[in-house]
């Protein structure tokens, strides 16, 4: 049982605590009470009240402040804003990156990552277990799902870069001089 919980507590208490924590950390990260209120479907005054309540609990030592909580709420915010974290494969192995970081890469690099991911997906997921026993409770398709997500994200970024280049006139057709 979680510290501070009694057997008569109902599950809504956990949700209330998580909501307080979210209001606190998202406010701390610079989101306005209005933005948080819209996402959590509560009023702006409730956001402020919940953030203050959580801050009091931290100051009173009832709840320890952990960097993992800050990281967790940062990732929640990033994903809510469309900046998903993807796992992709390159010739150097597996990597994790935010969509916003991938968008900073040039077209040829993105294309190389896209092709590496597509090649990985074309492999038989069971092939790596021909020589080795499958680990217990291992989901051999988990990585395929993650890489499939990366293919969609990287493909979208490539499309955006291509359209931007078309718009900027960077893509020129060769002219024959007569």
Q: Is the pLDDT of residue 175 over 80?
A: no
CB atoms closer than 10 angstroms to residue 161? 17
Domain shared by 75 and 113, yes or no: no
Q: How many domains, the chain?
A: 2
pLDDT in tens, 54-108: 999 999 989 888 888 888 998 888 887 888 888 888 888 888 899 999 999 999 9
Q: Is 175 within a domain?
A: no
pLDDT in tens, 93-127: 888 899 999 999 999 999 999 999 988 888 766 66
Q: What is the pLDDT of residue 90?
A: 86
Domain shared by 59 and 123, yes or no: no
- Dihedral of CA atoms 119, 121, 122, 126 in degrees, nearest 10, equals 130
Q: Is the pLDDT of residue 41 over 50?
A: yes
- Per-residue tokens: 157: 């970024």
Range of the domain at 36: 12-80
Q: Domain boundary at 59, 80, 101, which?
A: 80
- CA distances 97 to 3, 12, 70, 109, 151, Å, are 35, 34, 18, 14, 13
Domain shared by 95 and 162, yes or no: yes
Q: What is the mean pLDDT of the chain?
A: 81
Q: Domain boundary at 62, 80, 98, which?
A: 80
Domain shared by 97 and 36, yes or no: no
Domain shared by 116 and 152, yes or no: yes
Q: Is 3 within a domain?
A: no
């Amino acid at each position: 049982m979680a510290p501070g919980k009694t057997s008569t507590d109902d599950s809504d208490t956990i949700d209330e605590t998580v909501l307080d924590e979210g209001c606190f950390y998202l406010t701390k990260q610079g989101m306005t009470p209005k933005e948080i209120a819209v996402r959590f479907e509560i009023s702006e005054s409730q956001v402020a009240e919940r953030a203050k309540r959580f801050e009091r609990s931290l100051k009173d030592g009832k709840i320890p402040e952990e960097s993992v909580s800050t990281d967790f709420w940062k990732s929640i915010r990033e994903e809510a804003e469309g900046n998903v974290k993807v796992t992709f494969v390159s010739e150097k192995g597996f990597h994790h990156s935010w969509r916003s970081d991938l968008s900073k890469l040039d077209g040829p690099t993105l294309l190389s990552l896209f092709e590496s991911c597509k090649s990985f997906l074309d492999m038989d997921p069971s092939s790596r277990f021909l020589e080795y026993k499958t680990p217990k409770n291992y989901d051999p398709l988990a990585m395929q799902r993650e890489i499939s997500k990366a293919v969609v994200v990287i493909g979208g970024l490539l499309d955006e870069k291509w359209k931007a280049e078309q718009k900027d006139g960077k893509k020129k057709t060769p002219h024959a001089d007569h």
